[in-house]
Chains A and B, each alone.
Chain A
Amino acid sequence: MDERKVRTRPVHLTTPVTALAYHDDEILLSGQGPYLKASLISTSETLKCIHLGGDWKVHRIVQANIQHISDSTVTRLLLVFGAKSLRIMRLVVTRSDGKSHPSAYFQHLWNVPHMKDWILDAQWLWPKSDIPGESPALRSSKGVHITVPPTSIAIGYAHNFVEVFDLPQDPFTISHQENELLQEDSLPNFQLTYSVQSEEHCTLFCGRFHNNTLEDLWFASGTVFCHALLWKVHHKGGIEAPVVNSLIGHEGILFGIRWSDDGKAVCTVSDDRTIRVWDITHGTNITHTTHFGHTARVWDCQFAGQYLISISEDASCRVWRNPLLPGSDDTDDMSDCLACWEGHEGKSAWSVAVSSHGVVATGGGDGGIHLWRLDSIVAGSSDAEQNTRDINLPDITTYYPEAVANEKEFVRDFVITSHSQSIYATNTGYILVRDDNNGAWSTLYNSPLLKNYVSLESSACGRVVVAGCLSGKLAIVSVQNEFETIVADTIGGIKIQFIFLLEGESLDDFRIVIFRANCTVGVFHLNISTATSKATCDHICDLKLPKNNKAIHAAYYSPLYNLVLLGSRDGAVMVYNLDQVVKGLSEPVTLESIVILERCHGNDSVSSILMITERGEGYEGRDRINVYTTGRDGSWAKYRFLGLPGGEVIGARSLSDDDDNSDIESDDDEGITNMPNEPDNHSNLDDREGGSTIVLQKVFRSKITKGWLEKIFIMDGELLLLGFFNKKLFVYNESKHFEIRSFSRELTAGSELFESAKLQNNFHGREVRHLRFLSGARPLTEGAPAPIIIATGGEDCRLRMFQYIPYKTKNSCTALKPLCNLKPHLGAAIRCLEWSHTEVPHSYVLFTGGAIESMRAWQVTMSIPNSYQVQAVEDHSGKVVQEHTPLFLGCFELAQCPHVSENLETRIMDLSVFRLESHPRMHFIASVYSDAAIRVWLFDEVTNTFVLAIDTSYHQKCILQVSHVRVGEGIMMLTAATDGKIAIWDLTSTLDKFLEKYDADENKVVKPHSPSYGKNKQKVQKRYAQRLDRPIAEVTAHMSGVNSLYVQNLGQDGILAVSGGDDNALAAVLIKATWNPSLRAIEAQSANVIARDDYAHGSAIQAVFMINASEIVTTSQDQMLSLWHLDRVGGNGYDAALVKLESQFVHVPDPSTMDILASEDKTKDSVIIAGIGVQIFDVDAKK
């Protein structure tokens, strides 16, 4: 490397969190790739984040004791290691007045970049004389009071040997500049004082030290041969140390091993999905317990007081009862899993730490950090039966003087009206109130009307109780005696089965919806005037249910729009407009519904409905009117009302969505079929005399539990869901995507209401296969920079979008703001995605393609609050720039492309999207398939449908890449396959032919505003499809698969395509072609490989881009990012040469995709690379 300034530098990274350790109850240390971070758990704030240098990732952080520098400042020694590298550091924490907001930074003391072998564990060692007592449990760092500094360190290696080094200096007194990265190797300064090989030579996946003096040091090794070996490091005689104990029982490789603090027990985890706890107190008589529960490999398990805490490949963290504690003998192995915490996406939780206050932190393969409370187990583990109180009615004679002796009395129905009050309707026609604080009973009302049958309901405020009678009458009773009880009649004298008492215009105003035994529905208007102590209840109308409708299970009244929404037991939602009631008629009318949506929750019951109006938040400043439902199918759904007064209207682009984390999942696990049973996702009916149409449009449905969802409500602006699973009630925060708390019994409003929280946002939990920046995005408000939006998709079948906010958090790895998280299809990994623009401001179309031949069109809209002020912020160099504005993004599925091939396994490998100036609302999607098909689809914005424009097969191989470039007025398409060949096509005349046919057709299928999936699977519209002739040129660029292809038109110089191959090679292909305007055709003169580097990378090249006319950026599975210059002066038999300018290590394993976005001022490009995680680099523009 020469002295020239490096032009590429990393600016952001999200990869698996592989190390966690608590400094104290407030500060959590984490290792993510090469970054070491200190975060404040109370605020999720990153206090400090430093890059440790090198190409290793932090695997473990081993802390030593604290030293108090002053009243407000402490330092702690850290051994940070990963792979073969080791750093010795100091953490300095300052709390200015002891309690307030702390600050933290790291100091580098020593750097050992390359130890002899892979490091499995490291340990601080003290001279025996410095350690008071026996077997100090320093690893837990609790209650140990060593004030002197450690003098040496022990390193345990993967080949089952241990080395001990003396520290060259007192680590507390060594002076060093803050955060200064040490480059030189400190190993020569370390004296190797002891070295020992275990007698068992083998390769280990895990190992752990116990104790902190060389004399007492033990090493526990977990082998690939299913054994755990315990051996004493220090021994006399011979270089090989004997194994003291072999723990035999596992049936697979050991992945984790831990000691208990007192060294009396060892816990091991394995490939065999088990956790085993070994009692080693009795010498050779070792017993163990086995714990099953994880559904995939277990990575680690540690002792934490009365618990064991394990993490697994199944992405969950489980809590178990420690079997070695007294009293645990009476429980069998089957019931010892106390909690299973599932918060991480995709595969694997990799790291775990427990604070002394019982907050468990887990780090995921998805790059997120979750916090969980151990004390939530105590609350949740109690049995439902145990905590249920029986309530017995008082002796009948105390309230029913005429009671016949031995009269059978029982509760017909009951309601809970407040925290301390419940109301019961009895068989003898009494309504009794119980004070739940003291158990006192009083009579509220009694009537012969209520004898033998009552259906009871109370208002949300608890002031009114309505009793429905066998005779169809309603008794309306004031709980606090605010008005006299009234009895209202309904038609026909039919038994009232269910009552819904809904809030109206004011606190004194209600609507009562009743469901009668003959499947009819009545609506009443109840007004309780406290001024006159009188209540009125008028029968407004009846509502007509659809044919064959089952019972009503949910109802909602909207005073603002005078609408009643009903949810039925078979999953339908009906909307009725009470404005249609004609006043002054003697008989109440029966209203027809204005909207019916069927199968909103499959065939399961709709359990609750909620309607929320967001003033001025909709398109063009109109009101956004959302409707939410929950269902017994375990899902919740969101809809949007269009066409209501003041609200968004139909036809305008009004379908954006603002939910951060919404999942769409199909109903069933089969998932192969394209939601064939999904009904039309909106329904409408012409309404009101003006003929305006009201539409209830489904935005999405998300399944969050295998149990039931019962209620949806908004609290402090966050959407909360209430449901039951396995007899437990849980509350789920949909906005933040986690379960707040679950109860087997009562809801207590405690101060610590969270069971879990997200400390750090996550990325995809599995490999990302494709990502794209939204290029050409426009600023959302004057003066703000254009937002940087990234769409990502991959093996987890999720489509996610993020906003990259540069400079926002200089020190942290959290500059990616999650915007949406959709799981459109189970089993369809996303392989490719491309953006397209529309003529509507801030509205874009995204196309995704992937497995099982799935291709979808999404509408993406973005907005910011109207009141937003642009802020200034310092960039990396300290220059003041405009801050990127965090925005809201809505993503809505517009259409699904129909299947063409017969084999369901066919994958869509790549897409290339373009629009023609003559047809601005048409998007053309060139797509290549794993069965060698090449298809160009038209996505028509007007009809929201995919139409097949060109259908051809070529290459006879799996086609990997497709790209396009404009040549004159024509479109040149390039396709490349696994055989290394690139075919060059002229699409122009074929597209002309297609458009001529398509535009001329007056009978096009027009289904406005409806996604293409309906009750019937959409058929392919093939009638306009054209075939392509032969490619205009073909060139072999690689020996095997062409993994990446980038093409640009250099004008006079020709068209330049660069490609990266599975064969490690980078090739540049020059295509000489001209546009013939009279023939409307591209004429190719030649296509040749003009430069090639067979040794461009150490492994398959995964992505290639050009940042200008001569510079190329590549990345490969060798985890390098390289910058190249294409020198048009040739050599080596080629016309040009590829010169590598510089290389950077990429900290994302399995890098699969890359994209590039030029900054607005053209001074640099942002390069984003994703695989297992994501990394962003800045590349300075060529000077």
Chain B
Amino acid sequence: MAKEQGWRARSAFKLMQIDEEFNLLQGVTKAVDLCAAPGSWSQVLSKKLVENQSEGDEAKIVAVDLQAMAPLPGVIQLQGDITKQSTADQIISFFDGEKADIVICDGAPDVTGLHDMDEYIQAQLLLAALNITTHVLRPGGSFVAKIFRGKDITLLYTQLKVFFPKVTCSKPRSSRNSSIEAFIVCQDYTPPKDYVPNMGDPMLDLAPTDAQGRSNRTIVPFIACGDLSGFDSDMTYQLPDTGNDDYIVLAPVQMPITAPYLSAMEKKRKGFFNEQMSKK
């Protein structure tokens, strides 16, 4: 479906549905896309922001990712690590002293399957994104990031509440019901008084995680967004009947550029693993 409409990933719909609900992109011309690959959110930004731009207020999108990304028109690309000061400095430099209206982050680190470890790493990524946001976001601006509603999510809410008075957990209908993925929509950026952004000090999460701590946790409002009568990502649809049984399975619009196990795959193709099996 996403592929049919030329988006790089289904997640493009997610941002569009969040925007429908919260009007986040209204009037926005400066945006930062953290963890941008494969680039579908930048695609949406690029489409919307061009509509918003006016003379003297040109659209500017900076897309950052660890991985290289295929070029997108009108998007400044930056390959870098968002936990580093140098990356923050580079992003700021692209805005010429201006600040961004919105920071979005659709990033998700690799999961191992050890849930507590995965949640920790995910929280660190979000905190790194938040940290960089405090450098580049204008007061009153918004921050949207992917979250996984696991056991420690309420601690993250607490932390986000320090910077944003309005925090909502939103789940687009294009996101599967069975998925624990959701998006945190933080509006009206209001840094605490005397807050000085500092990349050198990672924001280690603060609250204790014992059972007592859990009873005093922050739960933010939940909003399901997107059209109720629209596409249900959990539903099994019959494939469109074209009458001649030749429904074409579309190739990904943008293939991943690198994967860590390429060498292992290469060996597998050459029959290495079979060879090894027979040696045992």
Contact = CB atoms under 8 A, between A and B. Distances in A.
Interface in B115-132: 115-117, 120-121, 124
Given A271-B110, A1065-B222, A1172-B115, A55 B177 contact: no
B212 A348 contact: no
Given A113-B210, A930-B234, A930-B235, A1 B215 contact: yes
A340 B280 contact: yes
Contacts of B264: 272-274, 292
Interface string B172-213: 010001001000000000000000000010101000111110
B221 A334 contact: no
Interface string A193-209: 00000000111010000
A1183 B113 CA distance: 41
A253 B263 CA distance: 14
Contacts of A201: 83-84, 200, 202
Interface in B136-151: 149-151
A1040 B177 contact: yes
Nearest to B264: A273
A313 interface: yes
Interface string A95-125: 0000000000000000001101110000000
Contact of A979 (B83, B228, B267, B273): B228
Given A118-B120, A957-B232, A1095 B219 contact: yes
Interface residue tally on B, bucketed by range: 35 or more
Interface in A281-297: 292-293, 295, 297
Contacts of B221: 1094
A contact residues, range: 35 or more
B153 interface: yes
A56 B209 contact: yes
Given A930-B234, A957-B235, A313 B177 contact: no
B171 interface: yes
Contact of B214 (A56, A907, A1065, A1120): A1120
A140 to B, nearest CB: 25
A1041 B228 CA distance: 11
A365 B113 CA distance: 9
B217 interface: yes
Contact of A293 (B171, B202, B228, B276): B276
Given A337-B276, A365-B113, A1040-B177, A274 B263 contact: yes
A958 B236 contact: yes
Contacts of B269: none
A18 B114 contact: yes
A307 to B, nearest CB: 15
A1150 interface: yes
Contacts of B263: 251, 272-274, 292
Contacts of A978: 173, 177, 232, 234-235
Interface string B244-280: 0000000000000000111110010000110111111
Contacts of A945: none
Residue of B116, B121, B151 with highest tally of chain A CB at under 10 A = B151
B211 A116 contact: no
A1040 B238 contact: no
Contacts of B237: 903, 931
Contacts of A136: none
B1 interface: no
Contacts of B261: 251-252, 271-273, 297
Nearest to B180: A1117
Contacts of B180: 1099-1100, 1117, 1150
A1143 B219 contact: no
B215 A1062 contact: no
B81 interface: yes
B219 A55 contact: no
A559 B185 CA distance: 78
A929 B236 contact: yes
A980 B264 CA distance: 45
A292 B267 contact: yes
Given A55-B210, A339-B280, A905-B236, A1119 B267 contact: no
Given A203-B121, A930-B235, A1144-B211, A958 B154 contact: no
A433 to B, nearest CB: 36
B5 interface: no
A698 interface: no
Interface in A962-988: 978-980
Contacts of B234: 930, 957-958, 960, 978, 1041
A822 B64 CA distance: 48
Nearest to B280: A726
A728 interface: yes
A84 interface: yes
Contacts of A82: 116
A1 B212 contact: yes
A313 B110 CA distance: 13
A114 B116 contact: no
Contacts of B110: 253, 271
A1145 interface: yes
Contacts of B113: 313, 347-348, 365, 1172
B273 A295 contact: yes
A81 interface: no
Contact of A1100 (B81, B149, B229): B149
B260 A117 contact: no
B114 to A, nearest CB: 7
Contacts of B275: 334
Contacts of A1149: 115-116, 150-151
Interface in B221-243: 221-224, 228-229, 232, 234-239
Contacts of A726: 277-280
Interface string A321-359: 000000000000011010110000001101000000000
A767 to B, nearest CB: 10
B235 A931 contact: yes
A83 B222 contact: no
Nearest to B151: A1119
A386 to B, nearest CB: 14
A836 B113 CA distance: 35
A839 interface: no
Name the residue in A253, A903, A978, A980 with the highest tally of chain B Cβ atoms < 10 Å from its Cβ.
A978
Given A56-B116, A252-B260, A337-B276, A903 B235 contact: no
B239 A1063 contact: no
A931 B236 contact: yes
Contact of A1062 (B171, B202, B262): B171
A630 interface: no
Interface string A693-726: 0000000000000000000000000000000001
4 nearest A-B residue pairs (beta carbon): A252-B260, A1149-B115, A1099-B149, A958-B234
Interface of B: 81, 83-84, 109-110, 112-117, 120-121, 124, 149-151, 153-154, 169, 171, 173, 177, 180, 200, 202, 204, 208-212, 214-215, 217, 219, 221-224, 228-229, 232, 234-239, 260-264, 267, 272-273, 275-280
Interface of A: 1, 16, 18, 54-57, 59, 82-84, 113-114, 116-118, 158-159, 201-203, 205, 224-226, 251-253, 255, 270-274, 292-293, 295, 297, 299, 313, 334-335, 337, 339-340, 347-348, 350, 365, 726, 728, 901-903, 905-907, 929-932, 956-958, 960, 978-980, 1039-1041, 1043, 1062-1065, 1094-1095, 1097-1100, 1117-1120, 1143-1145, 1149-1150, 1172
Given A18-B114, A203-B121, A1117-B151, 6 more contacts: A201-B202, A272-B264, A929-B236, A1098-B153, A1099-B149, A1100-B149
28 contacts: A55-B214, A116-B204, A158-B124, A202-B81, A203-B121, A205-B112, A224-B109, A272-B260, A292-B264, A334-B279, A335-B279, A350-B114, A901-B238, A903-B237, A956-B229, A956-B232, A958-B232, A978-B177, A1039-B223, A1064-B222, A1094-B222, A1095-B219, A1099-B151, A1099-B180, A1117-B150, A1143-B211, A1145-B211, A1149-B150
